[in-house]
Structure 1
Amino acid sequence: MQIDSKTILTGLFASPSFHSISPIIHNNAFEKLRLNYAYLSFEVNKDNLKDAVQSIKTLNMRGVNLSMPNKKEVIQYLDEISETAKLSQSVNTIVNDNGILKGCSTDGKGFFKSLEEEKIFIKDKNITILGTGGASIAIISQAVFEGIKNIFVFKRDKNWEEQKKILDNIASKTNCNIELNSLEDKNILKRKVEESDLLINATSVGMKEDFSLIEDKSFFRKDLIVSDIIYNPSKTKLLQIAEKEGCKIINGIGMLLYQGALSFELWTNKKIPVDYIKEIIFNYFK
Structure 2
Amino acid sequence: MSDIKKKEVFALIGDPVGHSASFCMHNAAFKALGIDAVYVPFRVLARDLKRAFIGVRALDIRGLNITIPYKEKCMKFLDKIDKYAQKIGAVNTVLNRDGKLIGYNTDSDGFIDSLKKDKDINPKGKNIFIMGAGGASRAVSFGLCKNRARGITLVDVKDYKAKRLKEDLSRHYPACNIQSILYTDKVKIKEAVSNSDIFVNATGVGLRSDDPSVIDIDFLNSHLLVCDLIYNPPLPPLLKEARKKGLKILNGEGMLLYQAMRAFKIWTKITPPEVL
User: Scaled by the length of structure 2, what TM-score is found?
Assistant: 0.94
3-state SS of the aligned residue for 1:205? Answer: coil
Out of 104-113 and 177-186, give the one that drifted further. 177-186
The one-letter code matched in structure 1 to 2:183 is: L
2:19 is equivalent to residue 22 of structure 1 = no
Q: Do the aligned residues in 2 keep the contact of 1:46 with 1:73 (CA within 8 Å)?
A: no
1:87–1:170 contact (8 Å) kept in structure 2: no
Q: Which amino acid aligns with 2:40?
A: L
Counterpart-to-counterpart distance in 2, 1:70 and 1:244: 34
Q: Which residue of 2 aligns with 1:186?
A: 186
Q: 1:249 to 1:265 in 2, by over 3 A?
A: same
Unpaired runs of 5+ residues, structure 2, are none
Aligned pairs for 1:57-96 (under 5 A) are 57-96=57-96
Q: Is residue 2:160 matched to residue 1:126?
A: no
Does residue 169 of the first structure (1) align with residue 181 of the second (2)? Answer: no
Aligned length: 270
Secondary structure at the counterpart of residue 207 of structure 1? coil
Q: Which residue is equivalent to 2:156?
A: 155
Q: CA RMSD in A?
A: 1.4
Deviation at 1:212, TM superposition (A): 4.4
The separation in 2 between residues aligned to 1:184 and 1:212, in whole angstroms, is 16
1:112 matched residue in structure 2: 112
The aligned counterpart of 1:54 is 54
CA contact (8 A) 2:149 2:176 kept: yes
Q: Verify the 8 A CA contact 2:197 2:225 in the aligned structure 1.
A: yes
Q: Contact between 2:132 and 2:157, CA under 8 Å: does it hold in 1?
A: yes
Residue matched to 1:225: 225
State the alpha-carbon separation in 1 of the partners of residues 157 and 55 from structure 2. Answer: 34
Aligned residue number for residue 281 of structure 1 = none
Q: Matched residues in 2 for 1:180 and 1:131: separation? A: 11
1: CA distance, partners of 2:163 / 2:6: 46
- CA gap 1:164/1:221 in 2 versus in 1, 3 angstroms: closer
Stretches (4+) displaced over 6 A = none
% same residue: 36
After superposition, the C-alpha distances for 1:217-255 in whole angstroms (9 at most, x for unaligned) are 2x2222210000001110011101111111100001111
What does residue 35 of structure 1 align with? 35
What code does the residue aligned with 1:21 have?
Answer: A
The amino acid across from 2:62 in the alignment is R
Aligned mates of 2:25, 2:196 — CA distance in 1: 33
User: How far off its partner does 1:142 sit?
Assistant: 1.3
Cα drift, residue 272 of structure 1: 1.4
SS state at 2:94 partner: strand
